[in-house]
């Protein structure tokens, strides 16, 4: 058809040539403008790619094996008797059905799960300890961020890893064992990912590890983080002469790096009956305060902050991952809403005292129903609603 069009144009009368020249000139201008725009886009893309590559060259990037393990259903040593549910009336059943039909059509592709570990190893130590473990689940469909604090005392079934057969233990030991058996941070991340998937159904997309030193410098760079302290929290900080070098009053205070670290690790302030739960609540408050602080930073401040932090971070995220995710997430940053939760989910775990290592020493642990946890957690992290 196009060839026929050109053939017919050749038969046009000569007096129509001026109109053809005008059309050709307009088309030429359009093509020049289009070429310039494309060039600008390519230059911007190249600069963006160079910028990301430059930033990520400062990080420690590790690669984990893909699908090298078989997903297994962890079984509980002890389970609670099933609770009978009250019969639904016709009205209640209708209401439940209505709620179910209004659930947004999300999928797992709309959710990004990032595991962040704050490790406590100092320079020269052979094995890293996971002092804090958080799962940041970003739902790009609902524009919500759920920050899960994974309780250290959770009584999990450790996965068999690198020829080692494991039983049940506290979750907090998993990262350390993976570090030793897997030859470093990649092993720690992999074993922890498997443990979380087997016990809670969590599928981690990306891992991040930040050291204590990195955390302190991150807070100091932004001149501290604003938090509201109770009297008990202020008293605890004032007793910590290692990290806190001044007297701190209750109320709204700006905590510097080492003070914020002491706050985040606080477990035994007066009134902390469930110390790990209170501790993780404080950590989520700290994360919320940091997000609020970052929203007010200029691009130059944010760029400088990133330069300081990145060399202290180890991650499985590549530069291409960041490019792809940034394009998806940045447009919705202003609208993001954050909520906090624990794993096991609040109100579903229960305390117990167990001789974990059969050595006569009793340890406090948190038990949970594996099937229940997977159902509750995956509803948020994988958009699975039964």
Over range 198-209, report the average pLDDT: 94
Whether the full predicted model's pTM is greater than 0.85, yes or no, is no
Measured CA to CA in angstroms, residue 268 lies from 129, 134, 229, 239, 366 at distances of 20, 20, 15, 11, 17
Dump pLDDT digits (tens) for 21-43. 555 666 666 666 666 666 555 55
Tokens 């691009």 belong to residue: 299
- Cβ atoms of 282 and 266 closer than 8 Å: yes
Q: Which of 282, 264, 261 is CA-nearest to residue 215?
A: 261
Instruction: Tell which CATH architecture fits domain 52-79+102-381.
Output: 3-Layer(aba) Sandwich (3.40)
Domain edges within the chain: 52-79+102-381
Dump pLDDT digits (tens) for 335-375. 778 888 999 999 999 999 999 988 899 999 999 999 999 99
Q: Which of 367, 374, 350 is CA-nearest to residue 156?
A: 367
Q: Please tell me the predicted confidence (pLDDT) of residue 301.
A: 75
Over range 309-322, report the average pLDDT: 81
Dump pLDDT digits (tens) for 80-89. 433 444 444 5
């Amino acid at each position: 058809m196009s060839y026929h069009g050109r053939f017919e144009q050749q038969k046009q009368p000569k007096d129509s040539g001026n109109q053809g020249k005008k059309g050709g000139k307009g088309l030429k201008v359009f093509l020049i403008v289009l070429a310039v725009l494309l060039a600008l886009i390519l230059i911007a893309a190249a600069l963006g790619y160079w910028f990301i590559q430059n930033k990520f060259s400062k990080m420690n990037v590790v690669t984990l094996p893909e699908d090298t393990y078989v997903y297994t259903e962890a079984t509980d040593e002890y389970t609670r008797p099933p609770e009978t549910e009250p019969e639904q009336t016709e009205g209640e059943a209708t209401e439940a059905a209505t709620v179910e039909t209004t659930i947004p059509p999300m999928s797992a592709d709309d959710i990004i799960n990032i595991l962040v570990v704050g490790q406590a190893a100092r320079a020269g130590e052979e094995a890293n300890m996971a002092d804090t473990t958080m799962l940041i689940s970003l739902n790009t469909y609902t524009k919500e961020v759920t920050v899960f604090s994974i309780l250290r005392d959770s009584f999990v079934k450790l996965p068999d890893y690198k020829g080692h057969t494991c039983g049940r233990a506290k979750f907090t030991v998993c990262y350390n064992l993976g570090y030793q058996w897997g030859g470093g941070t990649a092993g720690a991340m992999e074993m922890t990912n498997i443990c979380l998937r087997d016990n809670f159904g969590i599928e981690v997309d990306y891992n991040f590890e930040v050291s204590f030193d990195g955390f302190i410098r991150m807070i100091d760079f932004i001149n501290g983080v604003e938090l509201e302290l109770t009297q008990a929290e202020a008293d605890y900080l004032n007793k910590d002469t290692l990290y806190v070098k001044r007297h701190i009053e209750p109320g709204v205070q700006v905590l510097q790096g080492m003070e914020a670290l002491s706050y985040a690790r606080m477990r035994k302030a007066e009134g902390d009956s469930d110390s790990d739960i209170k501790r993780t609540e404080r950590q989520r408050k700290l994360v919320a305060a940091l997000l609020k602080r970052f929203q007010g930073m200029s691009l130059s401040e944010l760029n400088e902050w990133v330069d300081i932090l990145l060399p202290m971070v180890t991650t499985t995220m590549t530069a291409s991952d960041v490019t792809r995710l940034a394009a998806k997430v940045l447009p919705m940053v202003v609208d993001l809403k954050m909520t906090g939760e624990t794993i096991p989910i609040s109100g579903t775990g229960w305390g117990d005292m167990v001789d974990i290592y059969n050595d006569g020493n009793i340890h406090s642990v948190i038990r949970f129903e594996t099937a229940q946890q997977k159902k509750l957690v995956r509803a948020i992290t994988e958009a699975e609603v039964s």
